């Protein structure tokens, strides 16, 4: 069974440009999460999808970030326009059920560098 | 919001020895779940071990065990008989049993295993 995949693995863009990150969850996982780790800091929650609906987007930093999950399959996270502080590693995770001891399966992350 | 603290940015251990990684957390909730995730270099995070706050018995998974001290809000990870493959970044995570489905992560501990 394929794990969570993310594309691209690394992206370098200039301030003001737009970048779109993609996440493909494990097949059959209704729950999809986005997290971000800024260098040396903790991994922070951005948002949670259940199928195609946003269950919790309390972690989204501002309206420059737009997440979508059309059809409840893969998800995209667009940053427009990118700022220097958006640099970091963006992780996607998926799970069958959203709570308790259930494991979230993580992708390898997309390293975003904004120059 | 809950906070998770990993006070050891870096740790090292001799191969075959035992090492303990510390994790403390701050919460006013009585029920929650705690996790340790491991991220090997250039690979995705994988679950190492998990524990429910209501369970008194410390979780164990082969060479990995935890020391869960609920009153002290401490959840340390012990790795016995360390192997070269244990070298990774280790993240401690908290999940509420009441609010939301996100993980709250610590800043991570980078573990080096010395042959």
Taking only the tens of pLDDT, chain A with its 115 residues reads: 689 999 999 999 999 999 999 999 999 999 999 999 998 899 999 999 999 999 999 999 999 999 999 888 999 999 999 999 999 999 999 998 877 888 999 999 999 999 9
CA B95 to chain CA mean position, Å: 13
The chain B residue lying nearest A47, using CA atoms, is B102
To the nearest whole percent, how much of chain B has pLDDT over 90? 85
Contact B50 A101 (CB under 8 A): yes
Contact A48 B100 (CB under 8 A): yes
Cα–Cα distance, A41 to A61 (Å, whole number): 15
A2 touches chain B (CB under 8 A): no
Give the pLDDT of residue A1.
Answer: 65
| Residue in B43, B104, B108 closest to A108 by CB | B43
SS3 A72: helix
A30 touches chain B (CB under 8 A): no
Cα–Cα distance, B6 to B37 (Å, whole number): 13
Mean pLDDT, rounded, of chain B: 94
Cα–Cα distance, A5 to A27 (Å, whole number): 11
Give the pLDDT of residue B43.
Answer: 86
Paired tokens of B43 = 């690979």
Give the pLDDT of residue A101.
Answer: 81
**Alpha carbon of A88: minimum distance to chain B alpha carbons (Å):** 13
Which residues, in sequence order, are CB contacts of B23 under 8 Å at separation 6+?
A: B4, B5, B6, B34, B36, B74, B75, B76, B77, B92, B106
Enumerate the β-bridge partners of residue B38. B46, B90
Contact B4 A42 (CB under 8 A): yes
CB proximity under 8 Å: B 41-100 to A: 42-47, 50, 52, 91, 95, 97, 100
Dihedral sign for Cα A66, A70, A75, A76, please: negative
Which residues in chain A have Cβ-Cβ distances shorter than 8 Å to B44? 3-4, 106-109
Which residues in chain B have Cβ-Cβ distances shorter than 8 Å to A99? 95, 97, 101
| Residue in B33, B50, B107 closest to A42 by CB | B107
Cα–Cα distance, B10 to B12 (Å, whole number): 7
Return the closest-CA partner of residue B107 out of B14, B22, B40, B32. B22
| Residue in B46, B91, B100 closest to A56 by CB | B100
Cα–Cα distance, B58 to B49 (Å, whole number): 10
Average pLDDT (B70-88) is: 97
Which residues in chain A have Cβ-Cβ distances shorter than 8 Å to B52? 100-101
């Amino acid at each position: 069974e394929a794990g969570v995949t993310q594309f691209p693995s690394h992206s370098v863009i200039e301030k003001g440009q737009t970048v779109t990150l993609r996440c493909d969850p494990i097949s059959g996982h209704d729950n999809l999460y986005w997290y971000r780790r800024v260098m040396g800091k903790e991994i922070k929650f951005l948002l949670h999808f259940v199928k195609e609906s946003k269950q919790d987007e309390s972690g989204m930093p501002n309206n420059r970030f737009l997440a979508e999950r059309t059809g409840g399959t893969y998800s995209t996270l667009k940053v427009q326009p990118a700022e220097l502080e958006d640099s970091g590693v963006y992780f996607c995770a998926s799970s069958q059920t959203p709570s308790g001891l259930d494991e979230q399966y993580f992708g390898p992350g997309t390293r975003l560098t904004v120059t | 919001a809950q906070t998770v603290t990993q006070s050891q940015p870096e740790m090292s251990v001799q191969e075959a020895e035992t090492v303990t990684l510390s994790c403390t957390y701050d919460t006013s909730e009585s029920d929650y779940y705690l996790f340790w995730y491991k991220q090997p270099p250039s690979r995705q995070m994988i679950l190492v071990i998990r524990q429910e706050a209501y369970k008194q018995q410390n979780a164990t998974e082969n060479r990995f065990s935890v020391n869960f001290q609920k009153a002290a809000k401490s959840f340390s990870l012990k790795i016995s008989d360390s192997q070269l493959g244990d070298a990774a970044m280790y993240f401690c995570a908290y999940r509420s049993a009441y609010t939301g489905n996100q993980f709250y992560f610590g800043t991570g501990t980078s573990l080096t295993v010395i042959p």
